[in-house]
């Protein structure tokens, strides 16, 4: 019984943190998708993990054309 309360509290805290993270990700995605600027998220190797839809207007490319491709090599 003594372990139940701390585990339940940790579980609730984890659920709250996951919910907050989802909200922040949704807000980021909305901002990036509706921005007139090109937004990229690159990993350490220079691969684009996220490419905003502004790439269509600015470069005439689909976001998927740049996603997961090395851009800094």
SS3 7: helix
**Spatial separation of the C-alpha atoms in residues 15 and 10, rounded to whole Å:** 9
Across residues 28-36, what is the average pLDDT?
87
7: tokens are 């585990």
Render pLDDT for 37-48 as a digit per residue (tens, 0 to 9): 999 888 888 889
**Which pTM does this prediction carry?**
0.61
Render pLDDT for 48-64 as a digit per residue (tens, 0 to 9): 988 999 999 999 999 99
């Amino acid at each position: 019984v003594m372990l139940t309360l701390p585990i339940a509290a940790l579980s609730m805290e984890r659920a709250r943190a996951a919910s907050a993270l989802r909200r922040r990700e949704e807000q980021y995605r909305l901002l990036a998708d509706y921005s007139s600027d090109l937004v990229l998220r690159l990993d350490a190797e220079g691969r684009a993990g996220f490419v905003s839809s502004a790439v269509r207007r600015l470069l005439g490319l689909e976001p998927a054309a740049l996603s997961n491709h090395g851009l800094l090599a």
